[in-house]
Structure 1
Amino acid sequence: MGESTNEPQTISGAEFRRAPGVSDWRVTASGPQAVYTASSFGDAARLVVPVIAAAERHGILPDADVRPEGVVVRIPDRDFTGIPAAAAPFAAEVSRAAAELELTPDPSLVQSVGIYVAQHSEADARPFFLAALGYDSLGDTDAVDPLRRSPQLAFNPINGDAPARGRTHFDVYVPADQAQARVDAALAAGGRLADGSNPPFWWSLASPDNHGVDIAPWADATD
């Protein structure tokens, strides 16, 4: 009779960041991610074969987005279960392959975007957005592009707000070491700090005409 290894099925963002060989990677709300710049579409595409091999070896289902400017590799959280324990050795193997191919990691390009649809507590806008965007339900409150190309949506009630009014803001998930620069750039571009009580986990900004954007490094900043 075999013995249980008691190995964890998932790890925290902090545990992922402490793993060896993952310095190219950052953790956003949608999971760990790395961006490697390249000089051509062909150079970027060369990373795909090693990504496939590492994915099969470690049992990971990654996303790889190949562009002429580079390749984005993500380990998506598809169902709110968290980061799989095998993500760290997978990420380290991808990083080694990228280095061998002379692809340059650029953490400043790592980000994921979410849209928070704030709605009256008696309304349910999710069925409309599922139909209009061709999205799938995710959990009890979210909606997701089935191919994870477009921003994830979350639907949050506003108690006491006007019944016919919907409000929406963007969440921009960036690495913790890039957050202040992104905030500073948005403020320099005419934005204002709408709520400064939550840094370093997120900054709530508003555009000159009051559209909301949260710069949110919490997934990469939380131990």
Structure 2
Amino acid sequence: MVGSENEARITAAEFRGGAGTAAWRVTATGPQAVFRAVSLTQAASLVGPAVEAAERLGILADIDVRPEGVIVCVPDRDFGGISAAAIAFSASVSTAAASLGLEPDPARIQSVGIYVAQHSATDARPFFAAALGYEDLGDGDAVDPLRRGPQLAFNPITGDVPRRGRTHFDVSVPADQAEARVAAALAAGGRLADDSHAPAWWSLASPDNHGVDIAAWSDDVGD
């Protein structure tokens, strides 16, 4: 059973070192691949092979079909790590995509989270979960049960002013795409607020001072 305690888990580095994973990257939510398409019909042609591979290998995959392409994810549902079977699943999907003329596009791979900073005496998670129809995940996160919307994380700020909410977006992209994404945001009028954690992440601000962190999710992450 996927997500069980006895399931073999691997690291991001082990996944990316597996055969057939060249089109895939690991972000904050797990392994993901994007394959470009020219029509909804072409994109949907990958669903059958992907479902067959998922059923055969015991993977609970997310498959998002759009006219511009198809996104296939192996979501990390419990912070337990990547299923070892994800390597074989990814290889099968990539082979099927190639046979259908669907080209991989790693530059489009990303996962988006929203980080809610809250006063240390406040628990804002119940409110956001109720308003968005989300479910609790772990000790401090909340997720869309169908994983359509961005994951939420709640970070206490000790000593901050009560009743003052602070929220920023966290955009997790493959490590080889991060600097290009930062450069594009700066060229579009953004401001570099903090690069002391680079190349792990860059904190940016919009022209009117809304926060966005660009996080380089490295395939060399071992834990």
TM-score category, normalised to shorter length: over 0.9
Displacement of 1:218 after TM fit? Answer: 2.6
Residue 21 (structure 2) aligns with: 22
Structure 1 counterpart SS, 2:185: helix
Match of 1:33 in 2: 32
TM-score (structure 1 length as normaliser): 0.94
Tell me whether 1:128 sits opposite 2:115 in the alignment: no
Structure 1 residue 222: Cα displacement: 3.0
The SS at the match of 1:220 is: coil
Aligned-pair CA distance for 1:199: 1.5
Q: Which residue of 2 aligns with 1:84?
A: 83
Q: Residues 11 and 221 of structure 2 are in contact (CA less than 8 Å); yes or no, is this contact kept in structure 1? A: no
Aligned to 1:175: 174
What TM-score results when the alignment is normalised by the length of structure 2?
A: 0.94
Contact 1:201 / 1:221 at 8 angstroms: preserved in 2? Answer: no
Assess if the C-alpha contact under 8 Å between 2:34 and 2:71 holds in 1: yes
Kept after mapping to 1: 8 A contact 2:119/2:164: yes
Contact 2:144 2:151 in 1 (8 A): yes
Rounded to whole Å, the distance in 2 between the matches of 1:26 and 1:216 is 14
Number of residue pairs aligned between Structure 1 and Structure 2? 217
1:1-223 → structure 2 map (5 Å cutoff): 9-220=8-219, 222-223=221-222
SS in 2 for 1:42: helix
Kept in 2: contact 1:176–1:221 (CA 8 A): no
Q: Which runs of 5+ in 1 are unaligned?
A: 1-6
| 1:8 positional shift | 7.4
Segments of 4+ in structure 1 off by > 4 A? Answer: none
Structure 2 residue runs without a partner (length 5+): 1-5
Measured after TM superposition, the shift of residue 94 of structure 1 is: 0.4
- 1:80-103 deviations in whole A, cap 9, x for unaligned? 111011111110110000001110
Q: Say which SS state the counterpart of residue 214 (structure 1) adopts.
A: strand
Question: Shift of residue 194 of structure 1?
Answer: 1.1
Q: Kindly state the Cα deviation for residue 221 of structure 1 after the two structures are TM-superposed.
A: 5.1
CA offsets 1:165-214 (integer angstroms, 9 cap, x no match): 01001100111111111000011111111111111211111112211111
Amino acid corresponding to residue 19 of structure 1 in structure 2: G
Identity level (%): 70
CA distance in 2 between partners of 1:221 and 1:185 (Å)? 24
* Rounded Cα–Cα distance in structure 2 between residues aligned with 1:202 and 1:222: 14
| RMSD (Å) for aligned C-alpha atoms | 1.3
Contact kept in structure 2, 1:200 and 1:221, CA below 8 Å: no
